[in-house]
Structure 1
Amino acid sequence: MKLTPSADELAYWLILHQDKVVQLGEEPGLLKCHWSALDFAAAYAGEIIKIGEYRQHNCYLLDLGSESPGSPRTELVGLRATLMTQSSDAYQLIARGWQLAHFLRTHRYCGQCGRSMHLVDWELAMLCHGCGHRCYPRISPCIITAIRKDKQILLAQGRHHKSGMFSTLAGFVESGESLEQAVHREVMEEAGIEVKNLRYFRSQPWPFPHQLMVGFLADYADGEIKVDGEEIIEAHWFSMDELPLIPPAFSISGQLIEATRQLIEG
């Protein structure tokens, strides 16, 4: 719901410019200040949306879109770099804020009749007053799986991985498919092997732009590694003391790798 905080309210702010986070000072992420201190954002007073609470203060989203803050006091930091520095509760709010901003940016017009859409004030949805079509923020479920074989873990390098990074296998859930079916299908498609003893690990919102990563631990069952060379460039079994470059610990992939390490060493 859009609102305008009072000038003297002390709050946390997530201010976005394109796919960057607007930063004031040295600490990236959520800004703690009064609305009156954000002089560069005065023109957006009617575009403020509350996204939750943080450390006993309201937290607001302000999306500048493609407009630059235009203030020498501000810096722009990438969303991914910002998230890597956050606590879990701040991560949740920033992820939610970015997904909401992306939703509002991409649902300005009705996909059914083409008229303008409007943010409703009783739930998080966009509504077309012309034909009644209503849209909710898109969430794309993805599975991500760490596979153990004796004292080794399977890691793969995808064509989108930068700097030669290797990660656990992941993929989108298809229509009509359970999470478990998606794991077995993706592992077979990406690595050519079968898995067993599937166990749910945990989930993590991944706002690039609107994924929900659902993590699993699994054991190797059968088959030889075979990749397509396109989506997955290479995949190998790695010992825990000889790991390649892997995702950071804040990511669910990094957490899955660490959980597998504990299973192997425990």
Structure 2
Amino acid sequence: MEWEQINISEDFVPGTTLKGPDEQSYHIVVSDGEILCIEQQHPWRPLNQDEWRWCGLEPLASHYLGHIGSKAIFAEEVDSDAEEPQGYIFDTLWSFLTSVDQPIFYLIGRAKQLVEWHKHHKYCGACGAITSTEPTDRSRKCDACSISFYPRLSPSIIVLVYRDEEILLAKNAATRANFYSTLAGFVEPGESIEETVHREVFEEVGVKVKNLRYFSSQSWPFPNSLMLGFHAEYDSGEITIQEEEIADAKWFHYSDLPNKPAMMSISGWLIADHIKRLEG
């Protein structure tokens, strides 16, 4: 099966251990957080086995991601100072956000996150001893004190707050982009997801919400988030922004929204779903 014929959502089967020889394979090459691309190849595709073998890059580590049909697919970790082979170019993960289909973006994000996890967990954070890859799951284990280290995953919430036909949107203080988005934040230890929604909304914009409704989730590899999306109805309070986090926050009528997030993000999905419900 050629790459162009593949449906990642249906054909990709994730795995942690390669159980047989990989006579044919795909390779996602990662260097210093960037992804190797074949020049003039649009849309992007991973390297096939021959391209990987002859591109001249030496892997520091190879990570089995799973199978696509009969072909294994790997994330290849190469030196952060590796030079681009002739005919290839490294590009940031952000560049793939709107240039490839969503399932492929998730696959590339998976490769990048696993490479970075492996890179940062070669040694035990408790005793400093070398860790080794476990054969049965996606983890590394300290050979000295037996602590296991799993890929980093940071659960977070993202919530659309509404009041009648208005939507509360905010501009992040840390971004240069001129767009407004839904509110988001990371889960604190000991919190439920619902408690996080209430806390984050009140901390960032000073209002209280009610009638939380779970919407959907999204893997968001910037850097290692799992976004859990909610709709929440306004309850009380006036907007008071947390200036360290929020540059501006306002109520907008759903028919007159400012620049908003792309539909590749769960924030865009939340907004589109709410408008659909209002107009339906």
Please give the TM-score of this superposition, normalised by the length of structure 1.
0.91
Per-residue deviation, 1:57 = 3.3
Asked if the contact 2:34–2:91 (Cα under 8 Å) also holds between the matched residues in 1, the reply is: yes
Partner of 1:13: 27
CA distance in 1, matches of 2:172, 2:91: 25
Asked if the contact 2:57–2:78 (Cα under 8 Å) also holds between the matched residues in 1, the reply is: no
Partner of 1:206: 220
Partner of 1:147: 161
- Cα distance change of structure 1 residues 74 and 42 upon mapping to structure 2, 3 Å threshold: closer
Partner of 1:27: 42
- Cα distance change of structure 1 residues 37 and 83 upon mapping to structure 2, 3 Å threshold: same
Per-residue deviation, 1:36 = 5.0
CA distance in 1, matches of 2:61, 2:244: 42
Per-residue deviation, 1:61 = 0.6
Deviations 1:40-81 (A, max 9, x none): 35522x722211234663221111140324312111221022
> SS in structure 2 opposite 1:214?
strand
| Residue identity (%) | 35
Partner of 1:84: 98
Among candidates 136, 156, 174, match of residue 122 of structure 1: 136
Per-residue deviation, 1:163 = 2.0
Give structure 2 stretches of 5+ with no counterpart: 1-15
> SS in structure 2 opposite 1:184?
helix
Partner of 1:179: 193
> SS in structure 2 opposite 1:142?
strand
Give structure 1 stretches of 5+ with no counterpart: none
- 1:126-141 counterparts in 2 under 5 A? 126-141=140-155
Among candidates 251, 254, 270, match of residue 240 of structure 1: 254
CA distance in 2, matches of 1:94, 1:37: 16
The aligned length equals 264
Partner of 2:55: 40
Per-residue deviation, 1:29 = 4.4
CA distance in 2, matches of 1:208, 1:81: 12
Asked if the contact 2:31–2:82 (Cα under 8 Å) also holds between the matched residues in 1, the reply is: yes
1:251 aligns with 2:251: no
- 1:152-167 counterparts in 2 under 5 A? 152-167=166-181
CA distance in 1, matches of 2:136, 2:259: 46
Per-residue deviation, 1:176 = 0.7
RMSD across aligned positions (CA): 2.3
Per-residue deviation, 1:228 = 2.2
Please give the TM-score of this superposition, normalised by the length of structure 2.
0.86
Asked if the contact 1:13–1:30 (Cα under 8 Å) also holds between the matched residues in 2, the reply is: no
